[in-house]
Chains A and B, each alone.
Chain A
Amino acid sequence: MPENFRDIIKYAADKISKRGVDEFEVYAISSKENQIEVYQQDIESLSFSESSGIGIRIINNCSVGYAYTSFLEKHQILDCIDRAVANAQATNSEEFNTLPQSDDYLYPAKQGEQKLSFDNNFFNYTMNDKALAAKKLEYATKARDKRIIGISNSSYQDSEAEIILINSNGFFDSYKKSWCYLYVNAISRSGEDTSTGDYFGYGKHLGEIDIENIAGNAAQKSVSVLGGKKIKSRKADLLLHPLVGAQFLSLIAGALAADSIQKRKSLFRGKLSEKLFSLDIDIYDDGVMPSGLASSPFDGEGVYKGKTAVFEKGVLKTYLYNTYTARKDGTKSTGNASRSSYRSVPSVGINNFYIKPGKSSFEKILSSMDEGFYVLDIIGLHSGANPVSGDISVGAKGIWVEKGILSYPVKEVTIATDFLSLLKSIKEVGDNLSFMPLNGFMGSPALLIDKVMISGT
């Protein structure tokens, strides 16, 4: 962090307040990042950076303007203010365009402590430790199975950041955030067939990551689909790996943002209080979950976060709101204003979003299947799923299940359904919740889905 970062932010705020605009906000991030990639036990690349920048939001006559700068010289900050003010003249005026005030908050008190998003143990690890972790991961993954011929990527990434927000309603608060991430992708070969499998781990510091667990999962994902074949097109039950469940859940989560609802771009419009699942499923968006990578005390516009029940017993209870969309619907912000950096305007996003686990173990669900497809991996989610129409059609690989037993690998097939059918057709929820970072932090247990169309030969 630049020594005078707080001074810079105060300088910006002070200069804007003299411009006579109705409201303003300065959102600032200062961060340090490291990234290490290893290849055949050597460092292939190592990068590090320290950076900081500010984003300025102006609201004048209920019109919003935005500008940011990564270069924090005084004349650039003044230029940034000029641009934000000018941009506020280009956008439409709307009464709901205001900064949050205390009566906009659904969760009025700060629930998160500093440790929610940051762990001091982060500082216990040197660059050397981090490089070693990626090397260990590469080695451990390769050692798992003779059929693994190479590791195309074994990498470590981390970030340590301070987020500061100041606005003209008197909000001035900050929090620190730390995260680190290990990733590996294993290539395996058997005869003519090549297959890949990847896995990852994350935590607020390196000590929270289980390297052997990542290695084992990546290796298994890679070799278990070797020799996979196409199957005949048919309808079949699907057993979704928790991380596949999480990917489908991310689609649904996006369609629950109040913004999509208000703009008539979501199938969940008009469905509040309806039971959309056939099972009594609970789904939460928890902004203050202690182990969540998306946890922080306040959201992208300074609204304190909490735990929101989105579905309870299969019934849609609420959409997810920032201040603008909440005012428009005459309700309160759920603390879901999200922004990926100081370069972006706050929008409506997801915090830690997950399906509450059920009671059945994975093995029990598997053994209950007469015939079906255990989906280990899907590809093409961003292009094969239309969040507006709700159609889903993605590529998949995995293992065919016969009489409760994993019997042979399957690849190059697609599975097709749509959002609402998918919700309705969940037959069973496992007890094994797993999370992954996906425009928020998504978590799902294994899910058993009734009769979905699979396309093969």
Chain B
Amino acid sequence: MIDKELLSRVLAEMLGGGGSFAEIYTQKNRNNSLKLEDSKIENAVSGFDLGCGLRLWRDDSIFYAYVDSVKKKDLLDAARALARISKSETNARSIEINANQSLGDRSLVMPSAVDNDYKKNLLLKVDKVTRDYSQNIAQVSAYISDSEQEIHIANSNGVSSYFTLQKVILSVSAIAKRKKEIRTGHKSYAKTLGYEIFEQKKPEDVALEAAATAVKMLEARGAPTGEMPVVIGPAFGGVIFHEACGHGLEADAVIKDASVFKGKIGKKIASDVVTAIDDPSLKGHWGYYGFDDEGCRSSETVLIKDGCLMEYMHDLKSAVKLNQSQTGNGRRQSYRYMPYPRMSNTYIANGKSDPKDILGSVNRGIYAKEFAGGQVDPATGDFVFGISEGYMVENGKIAYPIKGATLIGNGPQVLKKIEMVGNDLAFAPGFCGKNGQSLANEVGQPTIKVSNMTVGGTET
């Protein structure tokens, strides 16, 4: 998108103010989305973004600027402004961009090859299938969104990484109503691939899962309150690890003394049955990338092995600061943002227990199947999660659905209370917010059992 000569020149100009590291992140992104609601295609939006983020490092400070442009004048102006603001004596040096790594991840069916009619029919089919599921379905909304991106990162260490990415997401929300009861069901299907993803899973199946949840929840009774054993279901259940522990393992929190896991490398932080991994290199997964947003090749990072803390997730800055190697977790929402250590595809690895035995071991407790999401304070590890599909468990069996339940607890404490880990690992896509940036993330988990947690409900 920008020639090598100009890249070198911009990097050199940036370093003119005495900085030690300079980087240019160039991104082109085309995206399209269609939204259905009330059985109508309500919105069709196409977007085009092209621009550069310039990052300069001087001592411990980061200076950042972005421009909605790839033009020579705009880039040089921004580079000079950065040099000026990072100030002091001139320390010009010439920059050679050597190492050239590139990755062209071409989808079988590129988003740009798929027209609106295809997407429109897909959404209309989703609407019909959802409504046909039950006469109690009162409303359906669904959207399909895709993007095609080109990213090029060049920095003063000589790195030059170019890659392309395609993403497709289908999301379905169903609302079921019976008398005064209103319940919702939600399901997303998302991959870092092209439209061939619907050969693996039919849009109708995504719709049916959303509809089934909404209708099933019409039977829900008020959730219990107080401490009890909690079984957390596979796939999206992994969001609990993502929030409660994952964020505390991102190294920027550790550096600022804002993580409960600071100083715990090599120490036992979880029960023996827990092994947790972050792996951006899982092809096709929603949190997949070949290079991170600093141009570092992605690879698997084992965070916790058999209960022992192995490693934090790093971006370049935290790796240098803590004298560790980069883990390929430097991510950003777009060229408009600075990178930070972020999770990608984060999961708890398979254990040995049969999910049936896990449920069978609970006398009175909760089975949390789907979550509406959660939030954590990484400095304390305190978290909450809203359960969107949950059940009361009595005598080892699912008794009835519950509504309005929340789980509250503390990440490090919960890690120690994981008693059983199932063998049914599955993944689910989502979005994660941090520092005002929202990113595609995938979570994964087999069925697990936590010996006790506080459940917030309305019934005593």
- Chain A residues within CB distance 8 Å of chain B: 39, 42-53, 64-72, 76, 79-80, 83-84, 86-92, 94, 127, 149-150, 152-153, 187, 194-196, 230, 233, 263-265, 267, 343-345, 379-386, 388-395, 411-418, 453, 455-457
Which residues of chain A are near B382, meaning CB under 8 Å?
379, 395, 411-412
Which residues of chain B are near A187, meaning CB under 8 Å?
257-258, 379
Contact yes or no, B48 A47, CB < 8 A: no
Contact yes or no, B46 A83, CB < 8 A: yes
Tell me the bound Cα distance from A380 to B371 in angstroms: 12
Which residues of chain A are near B63, meaning CB under 8 Å?
45-47
Which of A233, A383, A417 has the largest count of B CB atoms less than 10 A from its CB?
A383
CB interface residues, B 58-75, toward A, < 8 Å: 59-70
Contact yes or no, A455 B226, CB < 8 A: yes
What 8 pairs across the A-B complex have the smallest Cβ distances?
Answer: A414-B456, A383-B373, A380-B384, A395-B384, A47-B64, A87-B44, A455-B225, A90-B116
> Known: A379-B382, A383-B386, A395-B408. Contact between A87 and B45, CB under 8 A?
yes
Partner of B68, one of A51, A345, A380, A411: A51
Which residues of chain B are near A89, meaning CB under 8 Å?
116
Tell me the bound Cα distance from A66 to B41 in angstroms: 13
> Known: A264-B175, A386-B372. Contact between A44 and B81, CB under 8 A?
no
Contact yes or no, B61 A46, CB < 8 A: yes
Q: Convert B24-66 into 0s and 1s, putting 1 for each residue whose CB lies closer than 8 angstroms to a CB of A.
A: 0000000000100110111111111111000000011111111
Tell me the bound Cα distance from A417 to B459 in angstroms: 11
Tell me the bound Cα distance from A53 to B51 in angstroms: 12
Partner of A453, one of B62, B257, B380, B458: B458
Contact yes or no, B456 A415, CB < 8 A: yes
Q: Does B117 interact with chain A (Cβ within 8 Å)?
A: yes
Partner of B374, one of A69, A267, A380: A380
**Chain B nearest Cβ from A311, distance in angstroms:** 22
Which residues of chain A are near B383, meaning CB under 8 Å?
379-380, 395
Which residues of chain B are near A94, meaning CB under 8 Å?
40
Tell me the bound Cα distance from A44 to B51 in angstroms: 24
Instruction: Give the residue name and chain of the A residue nearest to B45 (CB).
Output: A66
Q: Does B417 interact with chain A (Cβ within 8 Å)?
A: no
Contact yes or no, B380 A196, CB < 8 A: yes
Which of A84, A343, A380, A386 has the largest count of B CB atoms less than 10 A from its CB?
A380
Contact yes or no, B377 A413, CB < 8 A: no
Partner of A71, one of B68, B117, B409: B68
> Known: A87-B116, A383-B385, A457-B227. Contact between A395 and B406, CB under 8 A?
yes
20 more contacts with CB within 8 A, not counting A83-B46, A195-B380, A379-B383, are A42-B59, A43-B61, A51-B68, A67-B45, A68-B48, A69-B48, A70-B48, A70-B50, A86-B116, A87-B46, A87-B116, A264-B139, A380-B375, A383-B374, A386-B386, A388-B175, A389-B403, A395-B406, A413-B456, A453-B457
Q: Does B369 interact with chain A (Cβ within 8 Å)?
A: no
Partner of A388, one of B34, B120, B184, B375: B184
Range for the number of chain B residues in contact with chain A: 35 or more
Instruction: Give the residue name and chain of the A residue nearest to B184 (CB).
Output: A388
Which of A39, A43, A195 has the largest count of B CB atoms less than 10 A from its CB?
A43
Instruction: Give the residue name and chain of the A residue nearest to B69 (CB).
Output: A71
Which residues of chain A are near B380, meaning CB under 8 Å?
194-196
Q: Does B336 interact with chain A (Cβ within 8 Å)?
A: yes
A-B contact pairs, 12 of them (CB 8 A): A39-B256, A46-B62, A49-B65, A71-B69, A76-B48, A80-B48, A88-B44, A233-B460, A344-B45, A394-B406, A395-B382, A413-B408
Which residues of chain A are near B69, meaning CB under 8 Å?
71
> Known: A44-B60, A152-B258. Contact between A51 and B67, CB under 8 A?
yes
Contact yes or no, A389 B406, CB < 8 A: no
Contact yes or no, B67 A345, CB < 8 A: no
Which residues of chain B are near A411, meaning CB under 8 Å?
382
**Chain A nearest Cβ from B135, distance in angstroms:** 15
Instruction: Give the residue name and chain of the B residue nearest to A392 (CB).
Output: B404
Contact yes or no, B38 A263, CB < 8 A: yes
> Known: A233-B225, A412-B409. Contact between A383 and B372, CB under 8 A?
yes
Q: Does B338 interact with chain A (Cβ within 8 Å)?
A: yes
Q: Does B392 interact with chain A (Cβ within 8 Å)?
A: no
Contact yes or no, B384 A384, CB < 8 A: yes
Q: Does B183 interact with chain A (Cβ within 8 Å)?
A: yes
Contact yes or no, A456 B226, CB < 8 A: yes
Instruction: Give the residue name and chain of the B residue nearest to A397 (CB).
Output: B382
Question: Secondary structure at chain A's binding surface: helix, strand, loop or mixed?
Answer: strand
Contact yes or no, A414 B226, CB < 8 A: no
Contact yes or no, A49 B454, CB < 8 A: no
> Known: A42-B60, A187-B379, A395-B408. Contact between A71 and B256, CB under 8 A?
no
Q: Does B455 interact with chain A (Cβ within 8 Å)?
A: yes
Contact yes or no, B45 A455, CB < 8 A: no
**Chain A nearest Cβ from B258, distance in angstroms:** 4
Tell me the bound Cα distance from A436 to B225 in angstroms: 31
Which residues of chain B are near A384, meaning CB under 8 Å?
372, 384-386, 406
Contact yes or no, A48 B454, CB < 8 A: no
Contact yes or no, B372 A196, CB < 8 A: no
Which residues of chain A are near B45, meaning CB under 8 Å?
66-68, 87, 344-345
Which residues of chain A are near B302, meaning CB under 8 Å?
none
Which residues of chain B are near A418, meaning CB under 8 Å?
404
Partner of A45, one of B64, B404, B405, B406: B64
Contact yes or no, B379 A196, CB < 8 A: yes
Which residues of chain B are near A390, meaning CB under 8 Å?
182
Q: Does B85 interact with chain A (Cβ within 8 Å)?
A: yes
Partner of B46, one of A49, A53, A66, A264: A66
Which residues of chain B are near A68, meaning CB under 8 Å?
45-48
Contact yes or no, A65 B44, CB < 8 A: yes
Contact yes or no, B457 A455, CB < 8 A: yes
Tell me the bound Cα distance from A137 to B6 in angstroms: 40
Which of B59, B183, B454 has the largest count of A CB atoms less than 10 A from its CB?
B454
Tell me the bound Cα distance from A394 to B458 in angstroms: 12
Q: Does B260 interact with chain A (Cβ within 8 Å)?
A: yes
> Known: A90-B41, A416-B406. Contact between A79 and B48, CB under 8 A?
yes
Q: Does B410 interact with chain A (Cβ within 8 Å)?
A: yes
Instruction: Give the residue name and chain of the A residue nearest to B40 (CB).
Output: A92
Tell me the bound Cα distance from A46 to B65 in angstroms: 8
Instruction: Give the residue name and chain of the B residue nearest to A157 (CB).
Output: B436
CB interface residues, B 380-409, toward A, < 8 Å: 380, 382-386, 388, 403-406, 408-409
Contact yes or no, A64 B43, CB < 8 A: yes
Partner of A412, one of B183, B404, B410: B410
Tell me the bound Cα distance from A79 to B306 in angstroms: 54
Which residues of chain A are near B403, meaning CB under 8 Å?
389, 391
**Chain A nearest Cβ from B77, distance in angstroms:** 9
Contact yes or no, A50 B64, CB < 8 A: no
Q: Does B138 interact with chain A (Cβ within 8 Å)?
A: yes
Instruction: Give the residue name and chain of the B residue nearest to A235 (CB).
Output: B460
Instruction: Give the residue name and chain of the B residue nearest to A76 (CB).
Output: B48
